[in-house]
Amino acid sequence: MKSVIVLASLLISTSVFANDVDPNGFEQQHFTSTKSRAEVVADLKAAQAAGELPVGELGVKFVDAASTKSRAEVAAETRQAPRRSYGEVATID
């Protein structure tokens, strides 16, 4: 009989702990800012102007260089390049 009571209390206590969403009390901690919204916006604009913020997913700035070849030259190079196959399907000549 004692083992049944111990088992029942163990099962009940584990379900109580499993439903505890915030065991460390993080939801009760409140964030207090040291800067106003205007100060944060001013800092953002200054960082953007100085180029300190990353651009894109990898943080790489792209260089837009002017093309030195005509469209016909690029098409001709593409036609002359050896064919490559990617994936499981082989190229058909």
Find, among 70, 71, 93, 74, the residue nearest to 82 by Cα.
Answer: 93
DSSP code, position 35:
S
pLDDT for the residue numbered 16: 54
- Report the number of secondary-structure helices (H) and strands (E) in the chain: 3, 0
Residues 48-93: pLDDT tens digits?
888 888 776 767 667 778 889 999 999 999 888 887 766 666 555 5
CA distance 55 to 42: 19
Q: Comparing 47 with 10, which gets the higher pLDDT? A: 47
Q: For 23-30, what is the mean pLDDT?
A: 77
Q: Where are the domains of the chain?
A: 2-78
Beta carbons within 8 Å of 93's beta carbon, 6+ residues apart: 83
